[in-house]
Structure 1
């Protein structure tokens, strides 16, 4: 799908606001959840996260390394089915590394900024 005008605005927002390495880790973790099929966000929010991810994936995370980004790139390039077990393992590791309050605060910031849907959208994620 070609980039839409709102994608440029979302990418710019991410570049300006998702500055902390933990933001990179949280965005990467949600990407893994989307690829793993375990993300409970609505379709719009599932479309937003990859835009945010693409805008900040070059930045270092605090807990997650380049191996996660390489796995995501492989999955997005068409190897997803072959990588199901590996995506699952990395998703579980990422979710374990990031505390629940940190992830909830990250999503709350995105909702408060209007980047993600309103309260309750993807809270079970």
Structure 2
């Protein structure tokens, strides 16, 4: 019996587990007049040190990173939007002092995935080859 040339495949499986990690944000459509003050609430629950993100998705486009925060009381700002990570209240509320029609979009609050371990799987030639 002939065997094909030896092939070795090494797979690295990254297994992320959430352990109940979650984010909750203001639900539904928010309708504001131009120049109004905007607040979109975002609270989170995690057993790991959090990294929080706000993404924006304009009509016909893919999601884009708007803000990111890692350390407590870290304040991010971009395009007039601001959010401060508060680990005491577990919040990362998005705010803007004066919204414009061009701010019409879908906004997502996200908590970073946490990889808590890796597992290696090695596949080698079978016996007899």
Q: TM-score normalized by structure 1?
A: 0.22
Structure richer in helix, relative to its length: 1
Structure richer in strand, relative to its length: 2
Pair member with larger Rg = 2
